[in-house]
Amino acid sequence: MKSKELLDVIVKAIDDKKGENMLALDMQGISLLSDYVVIVHGNSNRQAHAIVDGVVEALKNANALDYKVEGNKDSDWILIDTKDVIVNVFTEEARDFYGLEKLWSDAPEVELESILN
């Protein structure tokens, strides 16, 4: 599966779980780590973990089985690494604290509306 197709699967799964303030950054040509980085938060630890569960389920349904999840049930920041797309799921407080958007502020944003429509 190409990285853009993988991004589409992930963005739709996050949207289905009502992820807040989702942001996808195009890292191609900026970072060797991944093609895309997604940043999103849930309004609670429980919702953040529901978002992660939804993404993992969508990846399995898309037969994209090469991924790793970092974090546990008590984590306020859970990372899903698919190699081509890195997904950062936070609680709102953790997202504000770590400020990943600032770290990659030079990366162009992906237009999410085109994926969700």
| Residues spanned by the domain of 28 | 3-116
Residues 84, 69 contacting (CB under 8 angstroms): no
Query: How much is the pLDDT for 117?
Result: 87
pTM: 0.95
Length of the chain (residues): 117
| Count of the separate structural domains present in the chain | 1
CATH classification at residue 107: 3.30.460.10
Q: How far apart are CA 34 and CA 106, in angstroms?
A: 15
Q: How far apart are CA 16 and CA 115, in angstroms?
A: 13
Its sign, for the CA torsion 31, 36, 42, 45, is negative
CB neighbour burial string for 13-47, b if at least 16 within 10 angstroms, e if fewer: bbbebebeebbbbbbeeeeeebbbbbbbbbeebeb
Q: How far apart are CA 8 and CA 77, in angstroms?
A: 22
pLDDT tens for 71-82 read: 988 899 999 999
pLDDT tens for 80-94 read: 999 999 999 999 999
